[in-house]
Structure 1
Amino acid sequence: MLDLTSFRRDLHSYPETGFDLERTPRLIADVLANAGLEVVRGVGQCGIVATLRRGPDETAIGLRADMDALPIQEANGFSYRSTRDGLFHGCGHDGHSTMLLGAALKLAKDQTLKRTVHFIFQPDEENGNGAAAMIADGLFERFPMAAIYGLHNMPGMALGHFATQSGPFCAFEDNFEIMIEGQGGHASMPEKGVDPIVVGSAIVMQLQSIISRNVPPREHAVVSVTEFVTDGARNILPSNVTLRGDCRGFSQEVSQTLESRMRSVVEGVCTAQGAKGQISYSTSFRPLVNEDRATDTIAAAAGDVGTVDATYGRVGFSEDFAEFLVHRPGAFILMGNGLGGNNAMPLHNPSYDFNDDAIAHGVAFWVRLAHQNL
């Protein structure tokens, strides 16, 4: 019997990011193939789909875990810490993969299961490209399924507790880059130029008014400028400023409002100040919208193995699982990672760690969901 804790810690020690996954999917696929599942490798470059064929395609479901790590230097000092500088499983995808692997192994021995289950191990969730790559590679045509489900650990939530809700659940993430061209010069003679720092600062302040004056109070949105870059120096007024950041919300209408107003702000401020402005705006993650019936199904499974809040409310982070839900009904759920220590550190924190005690809860949940509503 595979020791799931040791397996999870091994994945943690050897993190891989994006589509640069070789060891992680190989280890997972080898275990599943040895257990007798049908394993297809290289779906969406380096994803895996392992199938347990026990029923018709009409009732088949997909269960998805992500495999990729983050480009973060780990701060933990335990024995299984990352061996790769600058790479770190700081979001718990090592635990997600281990729990789904454990469920697949358990279900492979369960002769009472009368449903086909596709176990989907996805690359590049963090950059929002892995789901689209698997879909483009024929995921839903090659592996027919009536619904698809996903799970993510939540630090600061009690072990054995789950949370979800019907409808919008995880936010979209839009990214922007604003390039401002002024006229640089000597710092002692700003009147002879057009200072793009002043222009950029005015834009930053105006962007904050979009939320308070253009987004209805019933909606949620965030606009964050995260980078302010210039080509100036100690006594040199810059000629160029670049602003970068991201926006969050829960509907396409809000996304369109943010983009439209941002373009108007940049154009208006630059025109008023005598500068030139250019903006690029793109979507990295769609809003994740849980289908009603699938939400009932996933909440019922969670309630059978633990406690569940089925009206948890929306969460502000984004999740690539949203892309799957554009193509198939399904739902996404959060699972407690514990209330203390490294297990309660925020996701993407250098001191975060997935809680090994959560593995059994996740395996039990996936197994119950596979049997749900047969």
Structure 2
Amino acid sequence: MEDEKLNVLLAQIRKELHEYPELSGKEYNTQKRIYDFLNKHTKSKVSKIAGTGLIAVFEGDEKYKTIMLRADIDALPIQEVNSFLHKSKVEGVSHKCGHDGHTTIMLGVAKKIADKPVKRGTIILLFQPSEENGMGAKAVLQDDFFKKISIDYVFSLHNLPGFIKHEIVIKKQEFTSNVKSIIVKLKGRTAHAAEPEKGFNPAMAIGELINFSNENTYNNPESEKFFLITLVHILLGEKAYGISAGYGEVHLTIRSWSTDLMKKKSGELIKFINQLIKKYSLEIEIVWLEEFYANVNNDKAVDIIENAAKQNTLTINKVNTPFKWGEDFGLFTQKFKGAMFGLGAGIETPALHNPDYDFPDEITITGVNMFYSILTKI
């Protein structure tokens, strides 16, 4: 009965968050909604962090370990196509990764701790901004609060469409991929289309770069040598048929399970690009952005998650390969012992980042109870 009442409350706040999504670094109203909920339903110490984020701290009666649970709060620049009553009211912005659901789960954890306090240790609930652009975890760790505190374990979850609702998805070691993006800007010299030899057109260099990317991709998730280069955008010249292009851009994303392989392959890519600019007499500017470190799950932390799932009589799915998408919680698992786990969102639920995706409210209380059980299992 308590869970049913809590679920009704949480469904209401989740739909409100869904209606008013905010992009990375702009989560001001989201921050206020979280703050108001925490002040109304808990006596935790609430502080702003990383600009638009929040932390809620609960102190037990006995000194023990410090555990951090994290939820991401930002939305995506995707136009929603759903027609339900709680559809996004913000043009071109929507919660298509379920961060509204993740935030709501963590609010439920806060309410549950307030109603049934954990007697020992320190619990930190982090409502983290800017996950989608890979900047949030870094900003949090640079905050003075995290420079002064020692954390024993960190945990987070991600909802997973394509998996049975409520099942808990776990994996030791890598759970998500290393991911980073690169923009390669190639500057040559424009010329008349009738006399391309009098200029430096980057088209051939772009063609060779595309071929290099394909040849160096090993898109086999079952292998530890998995390495994927994806072409996401090309810009070349203008729609002016009398001009041979003098400028071009290539945008790529790079993914691997292994951090060492990522460094090695990134170095080979840069070496090849430098050879191209000499070959075609081009100038170059390289911009790296949106870097996500792999979530490397600590074995003991995964065991704690598994025990929490058993306590809640939930189905456990032990996957063999990591997920190919990036998640900046990986920066926390690089620094602290911890783990990310998956929460099944339904076989028929639209995929993450699809314009018709919506977080299923029926799994919210499952996430709440999982996190609460994790706190009692350490």
TM normalised by structure 1 equals 0.92
Range 15-24 or range 49-58, more displaced: 49-58
Match of 2:129 in 1: 123
1:140 aligns to what?
A: 146
Is the 2:224–2:257 contact (alpha carbons within 8 Å) kept by the matching residues of 1? no
CA contact (8 A) 2:17 2:100 kept: yes
Mapping for residues 94-113 of structure 1, pairs under 5 Å: 94-111=100-117, 113=119
Residue identity opposite 1:323 in structure 2: L
1:158-194 deviation digits (Å, cap 9, x = unpaired)? 1110112111111111221212233322223334433
Which moved further from structure 2: 246-255 or 88-97?
246-255
**2:61 is aligned with 1:40:** no
Partner residue, 1:181? 187
- Cα 1:325/1:282, change in 2 over 3 Å: same
> Structure 1 residues 280, 24: closer, same or farther in 2, change over 3 A?
closer
Partner of 2:73: 67
Provide the C-alpha distance between the structure 2 equivalents of 1:163 and 1:85, rounded to a whole number of angstroms.
34
Residue type matched to 1:331 in 2? A
Alignment correspondent of 1:302: 309
SS in 1 for 2:346: coil
Between the aligned partners of 2:215 and 2:61, the Cα distance in structure 1 is 55
- The SS at the match of 1:60 is strand
Return the offset for 1:57. 4.8
Cα displacement string for residues 301-342 of structure 1 (whole angstroms, at most 9, x for unaligned residues): 1232211123442110111111112322111001011122xx
2:18 to 12, 19, 35: 12
Return 309-318 or 242-251, whichever deviates more.
309-318
Alpha-carbon deviations, 1:128-166, whole Å to 9, x = none? 111111211134345543111001100111111011211
1:172/1:287 contact within 8 Å kept: yes
Q: Give the whole-Å Cα distance in 1 for the aligned partners of 2:369 and 2:16.
A: 22
**What does 1:270-289 align with in structure 2 at a 5 Å threshold?**
270-282=277-289, 284-289=291-296
Structure 1 residues 179 and 73: CA distance shift in structure 2, 3 A: same
- The Cα offsets for residues 41-81 of structure 1, whole Å up to 9 and x where unpaired, read as 21111221112221445323111111111111111111000
Q: Give 1:187's aligned amino acid.
A: A
Q: 1:115–1:370: 8 Å Cα contact kept in structure 2?
A: no
Instruction: Indicate the residue corresponding to 1:320 in structure 2.
Output: 328
In structure 1, the partner of 2:358 is: 353
Structure 1 residues 164, 7: closer, same or farther in 2, change over 3 A? same
Question: For 1:365, which of 362, 370, 378 is the aligned residue?
Answer: 370
Contact 1:38 1:52 in 2 (8 A): yes
Classify 1:57/1:229 alpha carbon distance in 2 versus 1 (closer, same or farther; 3 Å): farther
Contact 1:39 1:48 in 2 (8 A): no
Distance 2:22 2:285 in 1: 35
8 A Cα contact 2:178 2:257, kept in partner: yes
Partner of 1:167: 173
Find the aligned partners of 1:207 and 1:313 in 2 and give their Cα distance. 23
How do residues 227-242 of structure 1 correspond to structure 2 at under 5 angstroms?
227-235=233-241, 236-242=243-249
The residue type equivalent to 2:34 in the other structure is: I
Aligned to 2:264: 257
1:145 is paired with a residue whose SS is: coil
Call closer, same or farther: CA 1:329–1:57 in 2, change over 3 Å.
farther
Corresponding residue SS for 2:272: helix
Q: TM-score, normalised by structure 2?
A: 0.91
SS of structure 2 residue aligned to 1:59: strand
**Corresponding letter in the other structure for 1:258:** K
Q: Distance in 2 between matches of 1:220 and 1:200?
A: 24
Matched residues in 1 for 2:148 and 2:96: separation?
A: 32
8 Å contact from structure 1 (residues 297, 372) kept in 2: yes
Q: In the alignment, residue 293 of structure 1 is paired with which amino acid?
A: K
Which runs of 5 or more residues in structure 1 are unaligned? Answer: none
Deviations 1:277-309 (A, max 9, x none): 443445611111111111111122123221112
Identity %: 28
Matched, 1:199 2:205: yes
Give the count of matched residue pairs: 368
> What is the deviation of 1:107?
2.1
Kindly provide the amino acid, as one letter, of the partner of residue 246 in structure 2: S
Unaligned runs of 5+ in 2: none
SS in 2 for 1:76: coil
